[in-house]
Structure 1
Amino acid sequence: MKELVAVAIVAIIFGVIYKLFDLFVRRKERMMLIEKMENLPAESLPDRLRMPTSSSAPTGGLRLGCLLLDVGLGLLAGFGIAYGTVPGYMQGGEIVWRVRDTVSVIYGASTLLGGGLGLVVSYIIEMKQQQKKS
């Protein structure tokens, strides 16, 4: 186990140093691009480099709302599953360790499934809105 800790520490230190160098190099590259693009008219820029319009702003709220709604529904579904399938879950007293492990897996899985479902639903809604605009 001590060998893994040493390897993990070296990997973390290397990763942090690499990301710092990467951050500074990318900053210099971005500054050079900005200086080159200052003289270009806005019409000649590709669509991905233009400033976002106000029509793209509501998608973030939609995405967050769908995510939080479905995470909550996932937690509620996890409680229902745990209550219905795990014996001794709602009884008073000490909860057995195995029951606690089972319930934590049920809650985690249902929450992640609900969050993923929320993001998929928001993606579908966004695609339909984009098709209506086109």
Structure 2
Amino acid sequence: MMDFIMVPAVLTVCMIGVYKLFELFVCKKERIMLIEKMIDQSCPPKLPTSQFMGNFSFSALKIGCLLTGMGFGLLLGYLICYGTIPNYPAANLDNWTSRETISLIYGACVLGFGGIGLIAAFITELKLNKK
């Protein structure tokens, strides 16, 4: 029933895993550099708190915009299928072409609106960083 969402979901999980793995190694190098600076200066550095507070809110913003976009994509996919496929909610979809068309519509809408949500989060993040 929900076969159309499995490929994007697995791909998303894999991409997030790879991203977090790279982020782990980059952050490790940054922490090592900060520790070396602290040893050289023999006093703790004064880091601005907005740098650390901003990362948490922006990640929440990204996830929120992504999920909102995916929700709108599912809604639009349902409306497209309801409007174009006769007897869509009650149809016995034994036809391979109909099932593939429905999967394509849902997948394209979810991925498209999810991408639009991430672009909106990026633009919002840029505007908040300028202030």
Paired letter, 2:40 = L
CA displacement 1:38-95 (0-9 Å, x = unmatched): 523447xxxxxxxx42233211111110100110110010011111112342234343
* TM-score, normalization by structure 2: 0.62
Is the CA contact 2:93–2:99 (under 8 Å) kept in the aligned structure 1?
no
Write the distance in 1 (CA, Å) between the matches of 2:114 and 2:101: 20
- In the alignment, structure 1 segments of 5+ residues that lack a partner are 1-25, 44-51
- Which structure is larger by alpha-carbon Rg, 1 or 2? 1
Q: Structure 1 residues 79 and 124, CA, compared in 2 at 3 Å: closer, same or farther?
A: same
Aligned pairs, number = 103
Higher relative contact order (CA 8 A, sep 6+): 2
Write the distance in 2 (CA, Å) between the matches of 1:32 and 1:94: 58
Percentage of pairs with the same residue: 34
Q: Structure 1 residues 128 and 94, CA, compared in 2 at 3 Å: closer, same or farther?
A: closer
Matching residue of 1:69: 68
* TM-score, normalization by structure 1: 0.61
Q: Structure 1 residues 111 and 118, CA, compared in 2 at 3 Å: closer, same or farther?
A: same
Matching residue of 1:58: 57
Q: Structure 1 residues 57 and 92, CA, compared in 2 at 3 Å: closer, same or farther?
A: closer
- In the alignment, structure 2 segments of 5+ residues that lack a partner are 1-24
Is the CA contact 1:89–1:95 (under 8 Å) kept in the aligned structure 2?
no
Q: CA RMSD in A?
A: 3.2
Write the distance in 1 (CA, Å) between the matches of 2:35 and 2:54: 28
